[in-house]
Amino acid sequence: MSRTMDGTRSERGGVLIAVAMTLLVLAAAAASMTSSGAAASAALGRRSEAESAFWAAQAGLERARRALAREPGFIGDLAGQAARASYTVRVDGPGDQGPWALRATGTRGTSVRALEADYRPLRYSDYLFVVGADIGVWQDFQAEGPIHVNGDFQVHGSGAVFQDEVSATGTIDAPGDADFQGGATGGATPIPMPFPDDDIPGPLAAVAAAEGAYYEGATRITFRADGTMDVEGTGPGAVGTGIPLPPSGLIVVDDDDLGDDDAPRVSGTISGRVTVLSAEEIVIVGPIDHAHPEGDTLGLVAVEDDIVVDFEGHPSQEPQVVRAALMAPHGTLDVVGWANGLGRLAVLGSLTLGEVEGSLMSPRKVTDWIHYDRGLRTAVPPFFDGVAGRAPLLVPGTWREVAP
């Protein structure tokens, strides 16, 4: 009897010990899980804070970019809130034509993230074309590069493709199959035409004069692939052969009384970065190309009149290329001598025109005569100013995260 009771007591004691051990294990596991859960929760919290701080810094960069659109000369600091975090931004730069160096810092809790990026003005040469009046294009128009129209934009016919943004201050009228890959915005803010006073600013004339690149009267300029130019004319700038390009890259032909026969004539292969600024017309009398496609650039500006393409002699049957950023803010592009199949013209560059004649956008020309030169994004023609009221562009390769 006593043995049986002793055995029972022994078994009960073993069960109690096992239960106690189990409870201890469970308690330890619960404590470990609680500790692990707290650590995981803390890690998630820190990650969330870090992400908020990052996006706040990015929002700071965007706010500074919009501030520069309103006030290009802004240099200083901005602060605000975004993504449940705070940010500060420092804007540094030489003036209203940039480039600007931005540093944004986002903070949430103990997390701090810092971003840096450089921005430059959005320029007229960044567009395939900027036109100051209504414009229409025809079927199968293939556009690479953004387009802006101070007026209505109409697409006649099917098959048109626009790789970049299209904007117009008026309406955009296009068939259903028009492919606006970069978006289309009607009722947009106007882009002001450059040189609103129809005149060459005195400071630009002074720059060219100081470098021997200021001319009056009939002038012919032939660029050479060795980085020089041949100039025929009466001066007062340097004339002759093998003349070095001016250090600033600015050539001015300034005579308000220029007739059609006296307008500067330009052709050749450019090696460097140059802008030719004429008070009246500019006539392109032969092909224009770049010696170094990745770094050279040419801007041709007819301040008060048209840019005329009129090759000397009849155009050949082979395609002829004009590679340049063309600007006639109070005129148009007048193409002469390409009627009746006498060859094909291809403009590789950009157009800023006060108006566009309908013949330029005819079905015969529209698919092969105008192409955007993306090299203009980095090789900007000298003295091509930024577009007023437009946010600056990120300089490729400059966005980076840095130590706070």
Tens-place pLDDT, residues 9-25: 555 556 566 655 665 65
Q: Please give the pLDDT value at position 30.
A: 57
Q: Considering only CA atoms, which of 302, 318, 320, 300 is closest in space to residue 310?
A: 320
Verdict on whether the full-model pTM lies above 0.95:
no
How far apart, in whole angstroms, are the C-alpha atoms of residue 200 and residue 254?
7
The answer on pLDDT for 197 being more than 90 is no
Asked if residue 114 lies in contact with residue 103, where contact means CB atoms within 8 angstroms, the answer is yes
Q: Please give the pLDDT value at position 107.
A: 97
Strand partners, 280: none
* Three-state secondary-structure class, residue 37: helix
Q: What one-letter code names the amino acid at 146?
A: P
Q: Is 302 exposed, middle or buried (0-12, 13-18, 19+ CB in 10 A)?
A: buried
**E strand spans, 60-121:** 76-82, 85-92, 100-108, 111-120
How far apart, in whole angstroms, are the C-alpha atoms of residue 138 and residue 148?
17
How confident is residue 346, by pLDDT bands cut at 50, 70 and 90?
confident
Would you state the structure tokens that stand for residue 29, as one six-digit string? Answer: 């596991």
Q: What is the mean pLDDT of the chain?
A: 85
How far apart, in whole angstroms, are the C-alpha atoms of residue 404 and residue 105?
7
Interacting residues of 382 by C-beta distance below 8 A, sequence separation 6+: 248, 249, 250, 273, 274, 275, 299
Asked if residue 329 lies in contact with residue 353, where contact means CB atoms within 8 angstroms, the answer is yes
> Does residue 236 have a cis peptide bond before it, meaning omega lies within 30 degrees of 0?
yes
* Four-residue CA torsion sign, 19, 25, 26, 28: positive
Q: Considering only CA atoms, which of 80, 84, 83, 85 is closest in space to residue 64?
A: 80
How far apart, in whole angstroms, are the C-alpha atoms of residue 171 and residue 154?
8
Q: Please give the pLDDT value at position 365.
A: 47
Q: What are phi and psi of 89, to 5 degrees?
A: -135, 135
How confident is residue 2, by pLDDT bands cut at 50, 70 and 90?
very low
Q: Please give the pLDDT value at position 341.
A: 42
Tens-place pLDDT, residues 294-344: 899 999 999 999 998 888 765 556 667 899 999 999 999 888 765 544 456
Tens-place pLDDT, residues 204-227: 999 999 999 999 988 999 999 999
Q: Which helix (H) or strand (E) holds 229?
A: strand 228-233
- Please give the average per-residue pLDDT across 282-305, as a whole number: 93
How far apart, in whole angstroms, are the C-alpha atoms of residue 166 and residue 181?
9
Q: What one-letter code names the amino acid at 67?
A: A
Domain-wise residue ranges, the chain? 2-122+392-402, 193-377
Tell me which of 202-206, 255-259, 343-347 is least confident: 255-259
Tens-place pLDDT, residues 55-66: 999 999 999 999
